[in-house]
Amino acid sequence: MKASTSAQARVARSRSAANKYLTFVLGSEHYGLPILKVQEIIGILDITPVPRMPAHVRGVVNLRGKVIPVIDLRLRFGIEAQADTKRTCIVVVQIRPAAGADPVTLGMVVDVVSEVQDIPADQIEPAPAFGTTVDTAYILGVGKIAKRVVILLDIDRVLTSSEVVAAADAAPTASKP
């Protein structure tokens, strides 16, 4: 049986993607994103700054004809800014600002993209509670790989709660200038 091409196998493949995370580095920490949220990874390119935006909004870029916002994840997490290096990447993700809203594509600047890691559900623990001092709402959990910990991000929350992502319909269309 040509199992590899069967519909069943496709479903099975997709299911297995549920445990895969794209891991990357910001400062000294390792982070992970569910791979299904990731649209693509591009090298750093010229970013057009947009005036009067929160500090962590680097600006916009042209992604094959689509203008998408780019967020500096370091600044979003309050990590000291650093100059872009050759290894700096933009991870393009699709998020939903709210249930039922249209998905929004945006880019996130990260220090280094590491690899796609398989993290089984039983290797993921909920983020420890820090009381009210540390907001953990945007953390899906903490994955354990060998000796390392990977902070798994609920990217919809990371970007929505940052007030960056306005509902798509609130975005300024070119109202008759």
Interface residues toward other proteins, by CB under 8 A:
1-2, 4-8, 10-11, 14-15, 17-18, 36, 46, 48-53, 57, 60-62, 65-69, 96-97, 99-100, 104-106, 163-166, 168, 170-175, 177
Looking at beta carbons only, is 25 or 59 nearer to other proteins?
59
Looking at beta carbons only, is 83 or 174 nearer to other proteins?
174
Distances (CA, A) of 114 to 28, 31, 48: 13, 9, 26
Looking at beta carbons only, is 10 or 148 nearer to other proteins?
10
Looking at beta carbons only, is 30 or 96 nearer to other proteins?
96
* Dihedral (CA of 166, 40, 7, 12) sign: negative
> How near is the Cβ of 146 to other proteins at its closest, in Å?
28
> How near is the Cβ of 54 to other proteins at its closest, in Å?
8
Burial of 69 by CB count in 10 Å (0-12 exposed, 13-18 middle, 19+ buried)?
Answer: buried
> How near is the Cβ of 52 to other proteins at its closest, in Å?
6
> How near is the Cβ of 48 to other proteins at its closest, in Å?
5
> How near is the Cβ of 23 to other proteins at its closest, in Å?
20
DSSP state of 80: P
**If DSSP codes are grouped into helix, strand and coil, which group holds residue 121?**
helix
Looking at beta carbons only, is 53 or 112 nearer to other proteins?
53
User: Comparing C-alpha atoms, which of 155, 159, 172 is closest to residue 57?
Assistant: 159
